[in-house]
Structure 1
């Protein structure tokens, strides 16, 4: 969890703001220094912060989530375009 926390800090996730379709949407609830944040944004507009966020999500997926033993047993994702 410390690695994820540091990655979030380096991305400056609290400053992310939301121009292209299709795009990913994110929702994150967290506590930083005792303050609660509930953030919603999408990656429709490119920015350095969003590029760093995408790199962080790739890291979390490939290094933390995908290697988990129970990952293959999760249900298929839903949504998207036909």
Structure 2
């Protein structure tokens, strides 16, 4: 399963938060971490075998000092849902 976590960062702690996000990018299930310009400050794309594993990663992101809000999106492969 693919999960996308959007996160917002407190402006006063921006540098500290981004350095912590760089550490998140080293987790084995994380496929990418990207700065975004728009509604959120960064996005983490990760793959997990189940919801429990995904929640663990989301909690790590949420607990980063300076992160003020997160939103997690669960992605489903369209072929798995509707067939080939």
**What is the TM-score normalised by the length of structure 2?**
0.31
Considering fraction of residues, name the structure with more strand.
2
Q: Give the structure with the higher percent helix.
A: 1
Higher relative contact order (CA 8 A, sep 6+): 2
Using the size of structure 1 for normalisation, the TM-score is 0.31
